[in-house]
Amino acid sequence: MNRKKLYIILVVLMIPISVFIFKDEANSNPIKEAKPGVVAVKGEGLKNNANGFKIIVEEGDVFSVVALKANIDEKSALNLYEKVKPIYDLADLKIGHEFLFNNDENGNLVKIIYNIDDERELIISRENNEDWQSAINTIDYEIMEKVIEGQLNGSLYESALKQGADEKVVIQFAESLEYSIDFANDPREGDKYKFIYEERYRDGKYVMPGRVLAGAYLNGEKLHQSFYYKTSTGGYDYYDENGNAVQKKFLRAPLSFRYISSPFTLGKRYVDKFGLATKHQAVDYVASAGTPIRAVGDGVVVSAGWSTVGYGNMTKIKHDGVYSTLYAHQSKILVKKGERVSQGQVIGYVGSTGFSTGPHLHLEMSKNGVNINPAKEILPPGKPIDANDRNDFNKTLQIMKDKIKI
């Protein structure tokens, strides 16, 4: 073998060795990147940051994962977890909730804040490297009142959003009146509404809406009102202008914010798809397949399964010795015969089973075995406010009535 060939062979053999050496050298000094899910607060990076950083809980996160993102070693994280557990179990983390880690001037971790919910936050702190101390505090918001007023143009939801209302507040307002108004059927163009709600601020910055404090809805000539009140025992509820809780025996509708395709009637209803006519002594709520169906009142399930008379998947609930309700054409039933259900509990999903021309809920209410129109049934008022709170409630009532006067 001549020298030229030997030289070529040596060069070829050296190439992989050179690549390996270069690669190893590059990996010996990797570029450190910020860990995913970590956001610095008024600073750059995590270490030596006197202001701290926040971590938002993501799907699959447990406290050990959050601690790792915060550069807390496993032993310290376990110690921290055990110290806090008597006050709050950090195993109970909610996706989207936030941890705020605060450092001292030397970059040492001295405080952790976790927002448990909209009303409470967990504070974990220590001084001079002593043991961690923890407490749950009520979040102290700065509160401002906002008034939304308008006339119905389309749905309440659409109209109120156009007036600048927060989506959550519109739903809350409707729910405060859902025992007296069926928002799927009762509203009409030109109805008037007005409600007051809290806007919550922290450090001068808007955070989110709070409670609806009072609301009024003029449906034709009938005025419906609700007033938020916190009792002397610490409980709270919505009451009407007479001091009775707005919650009654039955919800006015098993679905929220939907429209009714066919109002109550005792006449015949022709179902084109099947070429037959039926007595339609019920209310039909048109809604997308899969929409949750709520029990309108407490009761016991007396029937749950396939109907042989065209109702498809059907559930019947006996509420007492007088009233019962029937829910037909469900895509799926979630309860069983003999099961006790509570008002507002999801018992199934809207479908189009049985004799049905499209996804909808067929609701029947019977009184002493005779079908009735639930919209016209007069129910007893809700539980009255405690006598010890009556005077204070009346003072609050008068102030709020003036504010929501339509």
Task: Give, for all 406 residues of the chain, the pLDDT tens digit.
Answer: 555 554 544 444 444 444 333 333 333 333 233 344 444 443 333 333 446 899 999 999 999 999 999 999 999 999 999 999 999 999 999 999 999 999 888 888 899 999 999 889 999 999 877 889 999 999 999 999 999 999 998 888 889 999 999 989 999 999 999 999 988 888 899 999 999 999 999 889 999 999 999 999 999 999 999 999 999 988 889 999 999 999 999 999 998 754 333 344 444 443 444 444 455 578 888 888 999 999 999 999 999 999 999 999 999 999 999 999 999 999 999 999 999 999 999 999 999 999 998 999 999 999 999 999 888 888 888 999 999 999 999 999 999 999 999 8
CATH number assigned to the domain covering 259-372: 2.70.70.10
Sign of CA dihedral 253, 258, 261, 263: positive
Instruction: Give me the residue label for tokens 């702190």.
Output: 125
What one-character-per-residue DSSP string does 30-93 give? PPP-PPTTEEESSSSSSTT-SS-EEEE--TT--HHHHHHHTT--HHHHHHHHHHHTTT--TT--
DSSP state of 155: -
Cα–Cα dist 342/382, whole Å: 16
Cα–Cα dist 68/100, whole Å: 14
Q: Output helix, strand, coil percentages for the chain, rounded to the nearest 5.
A: 20, 35, 45
Residue 3 is predicted with a pLDDT of: 54
Cα–Cα dist 224/209, whole Å: 23
Q: How many residues does the chain have?
A: 406
Residue 198 is predicted with a pLDDT of: 96
Nearest alpha carbon to residue 319 among 247, 248, 250: 250
Cα–Cα dist 319/119, whole Å: 35
Whether 336 and 263 have beta carbons less than 8 Å apart is answered as no
Cα–Cα dist 184/229, whole Å: 27
Nearest alpha carbon to residue 330 among 307, 319, 314, 346: 314
Q: Is 310 helix (H, G, I), strand (E, B) or coil?
A: coil
Tell me how far apart the terminal alpha carbons of the chain are, to the nearest angstrom.
Answer: 106
Q: Is 378 helix (H, G, I), strand (E, B) or coil?
A: coil
| Main-chain phi, psi angles of 159, to 5 degrees | -65, -45
Q: Is 158 helix (H, G, I), strand (E, B) or coil?
A: helix
Largest CA distance in the chain: 113
Question: What's the whole-model pTM score?
Answer: 0.70
Cα–Cα dist 362/392, whole Å: 44
CATH 3.10.450.350 fits 38-138, yes or no: yes
The amino acid occupying position 274 is F
Residue 5 is predicted with a pLDDT of: 52
* Strand 276-279 versus strand 323-333 pairing type: unpaired
* Strand 299-306 versus strand 340-341 pairing type: antiparallel
- Domains 142-248+384-403 and 259-372 alike in fold: no
Domain ranges, ordered by start, for the chain: 38-138, 142-248+384-403, 259-372
| Main-chain phi, psi angles of 18, to 5 degrees | -65, -45
Q: How many CB atoms lie within 10 A of CB 73?
A: 10
Residue 33 is predicted with a pLDDT of: 36
C-alpha to C-alpha distances, 174 to 124, 183, 374, 399, nearest whole angstrom: 38, 8, 19, 21
Residue 47 is predicted with a pLDDT of: 38
Which tokens hold the place of 236? 């709270």
How is domain 142-248+384-403 classified at the CATH fold level?
A: Nuclear Transport Factor 2; Chain: A, (3.10.450)
Cα–Cα dist 107/43, whole Å: 11
Whether 292 and 264 have beta carbons less than 8 Å apart is answered as no
Q: How many CB atoms lie within 10 A of CB 249?
A: 17
Cα–Cα dist 202/139, whole Å: 9
Contacts of 344 (CB under 8 A, 6+ apart): 251, 294, 295
Whether 349 and 336 have beta carbons less than 8 Å apart is answered as no
